[in-house]
């Protein structure tokens, strides 16, 4: 599958987006750090707050990035945006209104994998971009699809099992779509999407057993 735009056009969209939304990149990153803080000090309300933050990220991607900017070079962005918005609404429904996400410091392979993906999304991802020669504003920042997808899968891996399998659908499918663009456009930091997608798919197929631990108040 060939993508309908060049690398120059792709990074040009990032430049226009970053210049237009500044300083929202900082706000989104601070919100992501707040999510990490809630993961390390879980409370009864942590699941709803974390789900609300993830839902906001995906709604932001849909409306602000896909609809407002990415459609300029790729008509498929209308579909990508609708898909991302559906993911945001589903996160809000199951995580915020239904309270189906819980977090506890239980450890284990899933939690370690989730922590590594979060670390990659927030720290390693921009570093790899810098080493690849990408400079602000023509570079992907947090809040754009690829780093945010990796972050989302990482957070879902840390959630206490069983995590609703349907929450993995949108980020795992987007990881597959984004991996195609990463390979064709030679965006090395986006190769992490492939790993995140595989790990997320495995987590969805094997949701695990309830831990029985209750977050502190």
Give the burial string for 185-210 (b: 16+ CB within 10 Å, else e). Answer: bebebbbbbbbbbebbbebbeeeeee
With beta carbons less than 8 A apart as the criterion, state whether 91 and 127 touch: no
> Helix crossing, 169-185 with 192-205: angle to 10°?
160
Confidence of residue 209 (pLDDT cuts 50, 70, 90): low
Segment 159-175 shows an average pLDDT of: 94
For residue 214, what pLDDT is reported?
A: 44
Query: Using CA atoms, how far apart are residues 155 and 35, in angstroms rounded to an integer?
Result: 9
| Residues paired with residue 103 on neighbouring β-strands, in sequence order | 159
Residue 216, pLDDT above cutoff 60: no
For residue 139, what pLDDT is reported?
A: 94
107-151 per-position pLDDT tens digit: 789 999 999 999 999 999 999 999 999 999 999 999 999 999 999
Residue 207, pLDDT above cutoff 50: yes
Question: 10 Å Cβ neighbour count for 117?
Answer: 26
Segment 87-92 shows an average pLDDT of: 98
Angle at the Cα of 88 (from 161 to 110), degrees rounded to 5? Answer: 25
DSSP 163: P
> Helix crossing, 46-60 with 24-40: angle to 10°?
150
16-67 per-position pLDDT tens digit: 999 999 999 999 999 999 999 999 887 888 999 999 999 999 999 999 999 9
Alpha helices in the chain (DSSP H): 7-21, 24-40, 46-60, 77-91, 108-119, 125-131, 145-158, 169-185, 192-205
């Amino acid at each position: 599958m060939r993508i309908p735009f060049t690398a120059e056009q792709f990074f040009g969209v990032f430049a226009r987006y970053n210049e237009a939304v500044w300083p929202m990149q900082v706000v989104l990153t601070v919100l992501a750090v707040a999510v990490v803080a809630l993961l390390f000090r879980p409370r009864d309300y942590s699941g709803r707050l974390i789900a609300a933050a993830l839902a906001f990220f995906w709604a932001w991607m849909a409306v602000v990035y896909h609809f407002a900017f990415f459609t300029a070079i790729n008509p498929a962005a209308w579909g990508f945006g609708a898909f991302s918005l559906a993911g945001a609404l589903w996160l809000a429904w199951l995580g915020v209104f239904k309270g189906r996400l819980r977090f506890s410091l239980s450890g284990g392979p899933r939690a370690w994998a989730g922590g590594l993906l979060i670390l990659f999304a927030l720290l390693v991802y921009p570093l790899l971009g810098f080493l690849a020669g990408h400079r602000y504003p023509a570079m992907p920042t947090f809040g754009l699809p690829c780093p945010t997808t990796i972050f989302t899968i990482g957070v879902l891996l840390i959630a206490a099992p069983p995590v609703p399998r349907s929450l993995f659908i949108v980020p795992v499918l987007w990881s597959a779509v984004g991996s195609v663009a990463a390979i064709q456009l030679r965006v090395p930091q986006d190769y992490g999407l492939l790993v995140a997608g595989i790990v997320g798919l495995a987590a969805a197929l094997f949701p695990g057993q309830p831990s029985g631990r209750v977050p502190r108040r």
